[in-house]
Amino acid sequence: MNTEDAAVFVNAVTAGSLSEAARRLGISPMMATRRLTSLEATLGVRLLHRTTRSLALTPEGEAFLPFAEALVENAQQGRARVRSEGRGAAGLLRVSVPIAFGLKLVAPMVPGLLAANPELGLSLDMSDHMPDLISTGTDLAIRISRLRDSSLIAQKLRDNPRSLVAAPAYALARGLPRSTAELSNHDCLPMSGVSHWTFMRGDEEASVRVSGRFSASSIAGCHAACLAGGGIALLSDWNIAEDVKAGRLLRVVLEDAVPEVIGIWAVYPTTRLVLPKVRVFISALRSVLDASEAGSLAD
């Protein structure tokens, strides 16, 4: 069985169209159609119901899909292992990262990563919302969260300590809270749709309601509003270390609780295969996080 034919089938299912499958594989739509037809002829069954606007799995296609995915992944693993011997990672790596994290930590490391791996390409999707890894063809997503969804395949890279911060101008005009109860008297800058911040009182979680007249769909927006004196924000230490050191932001220390420490997670679409290009990216990111952690502690 031709693995390239199987790859067209798998990509057509995840992408929802043959044309998108062809784009991902770097072939023409006509070649994609030919390969799918060849696969169906080899198996003697129709795998997909195809129209000009949609694709749908036949019962036979649904039964065959897991075997096709395993075939394609095994072939990718074999090629990647051979290519990586003595050379570095290869191929296009699609990574999704949060906006602030991508701008501050990931994008600056890209030139060095690509210079060290001449056959590697990187497509960076910066969004504060988790994509559908399968349908978008994403190889890896980095997310900063509690990540309690057991359906996700994830590896924790680091703890992610956070701090309450405010600009000196805000502190001068409004003062700063000394307890979680006093937060209700202040303008807080939460992400859109977030009504509570989680703190720790010893070993116990405390969910504290926050309010304000501003929210943003990206943590980068909350950060910018905080720098301008708009209120109190809950931000990652790697994100505010330079601002605190320069005096642009002040840490707000509460007497009765500390912000919950969440995690930085690498999220994968499958457990069966972690390609060398993914491992190289993770290794480079760990080095950046080590340096960032050292910088956060130094301020």
Q: Domain residues of the chain, as ranges?
A: 3-84, 90-159+263-298, 162-260
CATH of 90-159+263-298, one of 1.20.1560.10, 3.40.190.10, 3.40.50.740, 3.40.50.300: 3.40.190.10
* Nearest-5° Cα angle at 284, 282 to 285: 60
Q: Pairing between strand 119-126 and 90-97?
A: parallel
> Could you please report the per-residue DSSP string of 126-152?
E-SS---TTTTT-SEEEEEE----TTS
CATH topology for the 162-260 domain: D-Maltodextrin-Binding Protein; domain 2 (3.40.190)
pLDDT by 10-residue block (mean), the chain, 299 residues: 87 86 88 90 89 81 85 71 60 92 96 93 91 81 79 85 98 96 95 95 94 93 97 97 97 96 89 76 94 68
> Can 3-84 and 162-260 be said to share one CATH topology?
no
Predicted local confidence at residue 208, as pLDDT: 95
Predicted local confidence at residue 190, as pLDDT: 96
CB 189 within 8 A of CB 212: yes
Which pTM was predicted?
0.72
In CATH, the architecture of 3-84 is: Orthogonal Bundle (1.10)
Q: What is the DSSP letter of 106?
A: I
Structure tokens at 104: 């501050």
* Nearest-5° Cα angle at 227, 192 to 295: 100
